[in-house]
Amino acid sequence: MKKLLVYLKNYKKECVLAPLFKMLEASFELVVPLVVSAIIDVGIAAKDSGYILRMCLVMVALGLIGLVCSVTAQYFAAKAAAGFGTKVRHQLFAHIQTFSFSEIDQAGTATLITRMTSDINQVQSGVNMVLRLFLRSPFIVFGAMVMAFTIDTKAALIFVVTIPLLSFVVFGVMAVSIPLYRKVQERLDKVLGITRENLSGARVIRAFHKEEEEKSRFEEGLENLTSMQNYVGKISAFLNPVTYVVINGATIVLLYTGAVQVDLGNLTQGEVVALVNYMSQILVELIKLANLIITITKAYACGNRVSTILEMKSSMPVNLTRTQDVSGTQAIENVPMVQFSHVGLTYQKAGAESLSEVDFTVQKGETVGIIGGTGSGKTSLVHLIPRFYDVTRGEVLIQGKNVKDYPLEELRQKVGIVMQKAVLFQGTIRENLCWGNAAATEEELYQALETAQAKEVVEGKEGKLDALVEQGGKNFSGGQRQRLTIARALVRKPDILILDDSASALDYATDARLRKAIRQMDGSPTVFIVSQRTSSIQHADKIIVLEDGQVAGMGTHQKLLEKCRVYREIYESQFKKQ
């Protein structure tokens, strides 16, 4: 939580002024009883109606000044809180952007979204409340105690005992309920997860007619949540009554002590009344404070959860110290474009290596086919090139330089990758394509579309390039999405183009035309084609056959057919004697 307060830095002025004006307002409030006593002592006693009128005007004036102070305070508080919320939201989102996939898996998408939304909202309103009220209440509590001392030291000692006792109660309840609120949030996350799942899996759930079962699963999650909320609620509900008992208990002691002191002649009746009034003033402020603390407790718990995410370190920090070393980027002809040297990869928390001893070299302009069974490590292998994961053994070199020594952005600029899952984003087709290169001209876009066999997709849409894409590209079929994602990667004119099984939703004819077009592209990029179809890769310059994370064979189609058993089997499974 403390770490979040850094984001109030730009609002120092507001953070000081808001409570200050609040305190000013409180001071004027403290003056009002004095005016009233003056009306009684002077005005009524002397039957001076002019004096009473003047004092009443003073009271109205005090109210007006109080109003102005308060409005000013509210403005500064709102400004600081809204600004703070915005900063934290920005920071958290920016931070999540640096996460590699392993962190996202670890934290869970649903959790990250709650942190980004409702948690930050809670913290924001917490900040607002603190700025407005948190200083005002202690100010009055403390002020009342000081006033008590000016009347009678002995009676004031009751205040000295009561206030710490109250703090103990208040902070005690806080200490107990903060961890419990965290539990409430965890259970809320679960409810959120089920909701999301039922939206994304609506088809399957309905196909299996699991609606009722899902409802009862949701119900279970809900009940867990509610019972926890009730439990925490019961504990928080102690706060008000207990503070009430402490304060009024103190009043009883005060009255008795006062009675003894008056009997001895050390105090007057009026002074006892004043002391009792101060005590009740403390009560009023403490009730406010207690309610405030409930809000703050929640906000604090949320703040901590946000902090936890902010403290999560990306497993792939951008290496800033070595970015200077870019002098040798100019490729020398004989330096291989991509080189894997004894590469091994173990995913976080996985037992065995997903890739081991992968060793190969690819020259500029070559086409590499990667083939292998489900789970053989094909995707893992190509994901090492743009450094989605870091190798755990060996090294990956691009143009002779370790990928870890490239600034991430420069590295990824070189690579155009088309993922298995074809994802488009909300916006227009043009906006989606420009992900590849923001400065691409219309001509370049169409060129990429043509190569990707996606021209007809665009032409078939009203508005052509400016046709709207719904969230997740839902208004395009799987094949259309795939071709558009290929075009998106081509717009970038990458040095290295990776097609990760990205033609799976395309029919053979389109797939064949696509590969032909890519081969004829300008700038002759190095192409990696991950596929399960031998037909897609058989004309590659080099084919890498993977099995269980190991290279089972490498070479041309003909060579592999002769020498590699795994490859032969794959080939024959697809082209059995027609």
Partner 1 sequence: MKKDLRVKQTQTMKKVLKYIKAYGGYLALSLVFAVVTVAAALYIPVVTGQVIDHILGPGQVKFSVITQLLWKMGIVIAVTALAQWLMNVCNNKITYEVVQDIRREAFAKIEILPLKFIDGHSHGELVSRVIADVDQFADGLLMGFSQLFTGVVTILGTLLFMLGINVKITLVVVLVTPVSLFVASFIARRTFSMFMLQSATRGEQTALVNEMIENQKVVQAFSKEEDILEQFDEINQRLEKASLKATFFSSLTNPSTRFVNSLVYTGVGLVGAFSAMRGVLTVGQLSCFLSYANQYTKPFNEISGVVTELQNALACAERIFALIEEESQVPEPENVKVLAEVKGNIDLKHVYFSYTPDKKLIEDFNLSVKPGQRVAIVGPTGCGKTTLINLLMRFYDVDSGSILVEGEDIREVTRQSLRESYGMVLQETWLKAGTIRENLKMGKQDASDEEMMEAANAAHAHSFIKRLPKGYDTVIGEEGGSLSVGQKQLLCIARVMLCLPPMLILDEATSSIDTRTEMKIQNAFAKMMKGRTSFIVAHRLSTIQEADMILVMKDGHILEQGSHQELLAQNGFYYELYNSQFVV
Minimum distance from CB of 398 to partner 1 (Å)? Answer: 15
Distance set, CA 113 to CA 109, 117, 118, 221, 426 (Å): 6, 6, 8, 18, 18
Q: Does 99 bind partner 1 (CB under 8 A)?
A: yes
Binding positions for partner 1, 111-130, rule CB under 8 A:
112-114, 116-118, 121, 124-125, 128
Nearer to partner 1, 161 or 259 (CB): 259
Number of CB atoms found within 10 A of residue 228's CB: 18
Q: Which of 27, 98, 363, 402 binds partner 1 (CB under 8 A)?
A: 98
Minimum distance from CB of 56 to partner 1 (Å)? Answer: 5
139 SS3 class: helix
Q: Does 209 bind partner 1 (CB under 8 A)?
A: yes
Q: Which of 31, 174, 176, 191 binds partner 1 (CB under 8 A)?
A: 191
Q: Which of 2, 34, 150, 264 binds partner 1 (CB under 8 A)?
A: 264
Q: Does 110 bind partner 1 (CB under 8 A)?
A: yes
Q: Does 326 bind partner 1 (CB under 8 A)?
A: no
Tokens standing for residue 272? 């006892």
- Rama region for 209: left / alpha / beta (φ>0; ψ in -120 to 50; rest): left
Nearer to partner 1, 148 or 194 (CB): 194
Nearer to partner 1, 82 or 335 (CB): 82
Sheet holding 542-547, edge to edge: 415-418, 496-500, 526-531, 367-372, 542-547, 550-555
Minimum distance from CB of 198 to partner 1 (Å)? Answer: 5
Binding positions for partner 1, 234-263, rule CB under 8 A:
234, 236-238, 240-242, 244-245, 248-249, 251-252, 255-256, 258-260, 262-263
Q: Which of 139, 147, 182, 233 binds partner 1 (CB under 8 A)?
A: 233
Binding positions for partner 1, 549-578, rule CB under 8 A:
569-570, 573-574, 576
Nearer to partner 1, 342 or 557 (CB): 557
Of 363, 414, 386, 329, give the one whose Cα is nearest residue 526: 363
- Binding-residue total with partner 1 (CB under 8 A): 181
Nearer to partner 1, 333 or 421 (CB): 421
120 SS3 class: helix
Rounded Cα distance, 342 and 334, in Å: 21
Q: Give the long-range contacts of residues 313-320, CB within 8 A, separation 24 or more.
A: 314/98, 314/99, 314/100, 314/103, 315/100, 315/102, 315/103, 315/348, 315/390, 316/100, 316/387, 316/389, 316/390, 316/408, 317/98, 318/98, 318/407, 318/408, 319/404, 319/405, 319/407, 319/408, 320/407
Binding positions for partner 1, 498-517, rule CB under 8 A:
501, 504-510, 512, 515-516
Q: Which of 538, 544, 553, 554 binds partner 1 (CB under 8 A)?
A: 538
Binding positions for partner 1, 21-60, rule CB under 8 A:
25, 32, 36, 39-40, 43-44, 47, 49, 52-53, 55-56, 59-60
Contact stretch for partner 1 (CB under 8 A) within 6-14, 72-80, 147-155, 329-337: 72-80
Rounded Cα distance, 143 and 156, in Å: 12
Assess contact for 226 and 242: CB atoms under 8 A. no
133 SS3 class: helix
Minimum distance from CB of 333 to partner 1 (Å)? Answer: 27
Q: Which of 30, 31, 101, 450 binds partner 1 (CB under 8 A)?
A: 101
Q: Does 346 bind partner 1 (CB under 8 A)?
A: no
Helix H segments across 239-268?
239-264
160 SS3 class: helix
Distance of CA 456 to the CA centre of its chain: 39
Minimum distance from CB of 332 to partner 1 (Å)? Answer: 26
Distance set, CA 193 to CA 61, 105, 112, 186, 199 (Å): 56, 14, 11, 11, 10
Rounded Cα distance, 474 and 470, in Å: 6
Contact stretch for partner 1 (CB under 8 A) within 152-160, 224-232, 330-338, 444-452: 224-232
Amino acid at 262: V
Q: Does 520 bind partner 1 (CB under 8 A)?
A: no
Contact stretch for partner 1 (CB under 8 A) within 95-103, 137-145, 303-311, 355-363: 95-103
Minimum distance from CB of 437 to partner 1 (Å)? Answer: 9
Rounded Cα distance, 157 and 144, in Å: 12
Number of CB atoms found within 10 A of residue 359's CB: 12
Q: Does 182 bind partner 1 (CB under 8 A)?
A: no
Nearer to partner 1, 335 or 419 (CB): 419
Rounded Cα distance, 145 and 153, in Å: 10
Nearer to partner 1, 2 or 234 (CB): 234
Nearer to partner 1, 58 or 335 (CB): 58
Binding positions for partner 1, 410-439, rule CB under 8 A:
412-413, 415, 417, 419-421, 423, 425-426, 435-436, 438
Q: Does 168 bind partner 1 (CB under 8 A)?
A: no
Rounded Cα distance, 373 and 378, in Å: 8
Q: Does 457 bind partner 1 (CB under 8 A)?
A: yes
Nearer to partner 1, 178 or 335 (CB): 178
Assess contact for 188 and 228: CB atoms under 8 A. no
